[in-house]
Amino acid sequence: MRADPRALRFSAIITTVVLALVLVTGSVWPSAAPVLLAAQALVFALGVAHRSPYGMLYKAFVKSAPKETEDARPPRFAQGVGLVFAVAGLVGYLAGITPLALVATAAALLAAFLNAAFGFCLGCETYLLIRRLLPAAKLEVPE
């Protein structure tokens, strides 16, 4: 499976904006933050299932073919890491554990920003670290 790197970058930018909004609304309009974060968690989950709404939005507007494509597995794995952080943040907001809500959301924002601004995939790099700690956590990844 191949992915359009421009669509991935576009998705990272929208994700960065949404997660920044979650943190901003959290301080001015507290009830909106978990709703927005839940929406982003859903987007991450759809991304894991190869149905990224941001990617589809990009494809709806940009018809040209990319100059080169890249392996879809690393960004898909990173969407899964994003989902874990978004769910942790959501639990924090809903259970009133503010430090958990803020730290988990900020961590997801950091990873999305590094991807959007520099093209670095922080989520991808956690894979080897997870495997080092949990050798049994091998994921089967058909090409």
Binding site for another protein (CB under 8 A): 20, 23-24, 27, 70-71, 73-75, 77-78, 102, 106, 109-110, 113-114, 117-118, 120-121, 124-125, 127-129, 131-132, 135, 138-139, 141
CB 106 within 8 A of CB 23: yes
Q: At 56, which amino acid appears?
A: M
**Shortest Å distance, C-beta 136 to another protein:** 11
Q: Choose between 39 and 120: whose C-beta lies nearer to another protein.
A: 120
CB of 45 to another protein, least distance (A): 18
CB of 78 to another protein, least distance (A): 8
Quote the tokens at residue 19: 């997660």
- What is the smallest separation between the CB atom of 59 and another protein, expressed in angstroms? 20
Calculate the alpha carbon distances from 2 to 76, 110, 115 in Å.
11, 25, 18
Q: In whole angstroms, what is the distance from residue 59 CA to residue 43 CA? A: 16
CB nearer another protein, residue 63 or residue 108: 108
Question: What is the crossing angle of helices 5-28 and 98-118, to 10°?
Answer: 150
